[in-house]
A and B are shown apart, each in its own frame.
Chain A
Amino acid sequence: MTVDNFSKDSSLSDVKDFITLLKPGVLLLVVYTALVGSLIAPGHVHPFLAALSIFSIALGSGAAGAFNMWYDRDIDGLMARTRLRPIPSGRIAPSDGLGFSAVLTVTSIVLMYFASNLQAALLLVFSIFFYDVIYTMLLKRTTAQNIVIGGAAGAFPPVIGWLSIVPEYSFEPLVLFAIIFLWTPSHFWALALNRCQDYARVNVPMLPVTAGPEKTRRAIFIYSALLIVVSFVPYVLNYKGMIYLVTAGVLGSVYMYLAWRVLRYQNPKDAMKLFSYSIVYLFLLFSGMLLDHYLVK
């Protein structure tokens, strides 16, 4: 498919299509992790400003999602999972998708700056740049390590949330960064294991395509183990207490069991189970952090 085959106007679109461009599922995780980052940060700002900072992160995440859908419109149209997205299906014109992303990008950054501080705004700029340029444009179609490195983009939100409250870097938000960074490969490869043919058809070098399913299963297991180890760091460094330790322990045990099943049996259902669970895991792990923060206080 060439660029010329795409719709020239967006008259067929409705509001729902523009919401789809924001990647609402990803956005929800981004907002939640950013919210936790800002709530556990040791500082206080006006609640309206704190809410606006989170809203800015949501806008920035949506903007990056829309940019990704604009840039990947050629391959999205050829993959079963993504062919019904608004741009490849012709409901939104590519230029409108890009414009939508640009407006959201600028709005999110300006809003973040006025709602919080320069440090948070700069990191928001960097994370959008990282997702748009480093991951989407440079890594995704060139290396099997695409989502390992690109995963950093999704790991910035809790740090941005933290910085919006306390405008200086410290180690604790970097641990939150590390948790999401190490979570991404097993989460994404579990999905990619079942979408191997799709990615192969459009020449996207996802690990199951370049290294095969067996090595991918091993990599999923290794990254899961690394994730579980790092998930205990907030307790080890005394940032969080027993509630978090129990949460991380229980959630991590289930994670490792599912990752082991993916490694041991070649059942596609196990990979999908791990993929679904990984989302629940991140939500609950960060909830445990929050609970610990407030109850121990």
Chain B
Amino acid sequence: MSLAAKRRQKNIALGLCLAFLVAIFYGLGMIRLSHGA
């Protein structure tokens, strides 16, 4: 795998991780709000 391809792969993975984290905290917030906890 070329260095450019590796960089692209890592950027995509990082983007997905951040999106996943945002989704998690969104879900957390919604549950906390709806349960009043």
Contacts and interface: CB of A to CB of B under 8 A. Distances in A.
B31 A11 contact: no
A13 B13 CA distance: 13
Contacts of B22: none
Nearest to B6: A14
Given A12-B3, A46-B35, A52 B24 contact: yes
A115 B25 CA distance: 9
A52 B28 CA distance: 9
Contacts of A46: 31, 35
A100 to B, nearest CB: 11
Contacts of B10: 13-15, 18
A52 B32 CA distance: 13
Nearest to B24: A52
Contacts of B32: 114
A17 to B, nearest CB: 9
A115 B28 CA distance: 7
Interface string B11-37: 001000000010011011001100100
Contacts of B28: 48-49, 52, 114-115
Interface in A1-32: 11-15, 18
Given A14-B1, A15-B13, A107-B21, A48 B27 contact: yes
B31 A14 contact: no
A259 interface: no
A109 interface: no
Contacts of B1: 14
Contact of B6 (A13, A52, A107, A114): A13
Interface residues of A, number: 15
Chain A facing B: main interface SS: helix
A116 to B, nearest CB: 11
Nearest to A14: B6
Interface in A33-53: 46, 48-49, 52
B9 A111 contact: no
A157 B28 CA distance: 22
Nearest to A117: B37
A14 B2 CA distance: 10
B8 to A, nearest CB: 10
Contacts of A48: 27-28, 31
Interface of A: 11-15, 18, 46, 48-49, 52, 55, 107, 111, 114-115
Interface of B: 1, 3, 6-7, 9-10, 13, 21, 24-25, 27-28, 31-32, 35
Q: 7 nearest interchain CB pairs?
A: A15-B13, A14-B6, A114-B28, A11-B3, A46-B31, A15-B9, A48-B27
29 contacts: A11-B3, A11-B6, A11-B7, A12-B3, A13-B6, A13-B10, A14-B1, A14-B6, A14-B9, A14-B10, A15-B9, A15-B10, A15-B13, A18-B10, A18-B13, A46-B31, A46-B35, A48-B27, A48-B28, A49-B28, A49-B31, A52-B24, A52-B27, A55-B24, A107-B21, A111-B24, A114-B25, A114-B32, A115-B28
